Amino acid sequence: MARTILSSATKEVAIGFDQPFVMIGERINPTGRKLFSKELKEFNYWRVKKEALAQVEAGAQVLDVNVGVPLADEALIMSEVIPLIQGLTDVPLCIDSSVMDALESGLKAYKGRPLLNSTTAEEEVMERILPLVAKYDCAVVAISNDDTGISEDPDVRFEVAKRIVNRAADYGIKAEDVVVDPLVMPVGAVNSAGKDVFRLVHRLRTELGVNTTCGASNIAFGLPNRHAINNAFLPMLAGAGMTSAIVNPLHEGLVPAVRAADILTGNDAGCANWIKAYRPAPAEGESGRGRGGRGGRRGGGRRRG
* CA distances in angstroms from 245 to 61, 64, 94, 179, 281, listed in the order given: 11, 11, 12, 10, 30
Q: Contacts with a second copy: how many residues (CB under 8 A)?
A: 43
Q: Which stretch binds a second copy (CB under 8 A): 76-84, 160-168, 227-235, 283-291?
A: 227-235
- From the number of C-beta atoms within 10 Å of its C-beta (0-12, 13-18, 19+), residue 132 rates as middle
Q: Whose Cβ is closer to a second copy: residue 18's or residue 147's?
A: 18
CA 77 to chain centre: 21
| Residue 13 falls in which region: left (phi positive, over 0), alpha (psi -120 to 50) or beta | beta
Residue 121 CA from chain centroid, whole number: 19
The contact pattern for a second copy, residues 194-213, with x = CB under 8 A and - = no contact, is: xx--x---------------
Applying CB under 8 A, among 81, 143, 179, 238 the residue interacting with a second copy is: 238
Cβ atoms 132, 101 nearer than 8 A: no
Reduced to 3 DSSP states, what percent helix, strand and coil does the chain have, rounded to the nearest 5? 45, 15, 40
Q: Rounded to an integer, what distance in angstroms lies between the CA atom of residue 206 and that of residue 175?
A: 13
Instruction: Give the x/- contact pattern for a second copy in 264-303, rule: CB under 8 A.
Output: xxx--xxx--xx--xxx-----------------xx----
Q: CB of 50 within 8 A of CB of 43? A: no
Stretch in the footprint of a second copy (CB under 8 A) among 73-81, 119-127, 166-174, 184-192: 184-192
Shortest distance, position 34 Cβ to a second copy, whole Å: 24
Near a second copy by CB under 8 A: residue from 76, 232, 250, 251: 232
The reply to whether 21 sits near a second copy by the rule CB under 8 A is no
Q: Choose the stretch contacting a second copy; rule: CB under 8 A; options: 27-35, 52-60, 106-114, 225-233.
A: 225-233
Q: Is 271 left (phi over 0), alpha (psi -120 to 50) or beta?
A: left
- In angstroms, what is the minimal distance from the CB of 220 to a second copy? 8
Query: For binding to a second copy (CB under 8 A), which residues are involved?
Result: 187-188, 191-195, 198, 219, 223-225, 228-229, 231-233, 235-236, 238-240, 253, 256-261, 263-266, 269-271, 274-275, 278-280, 298-299
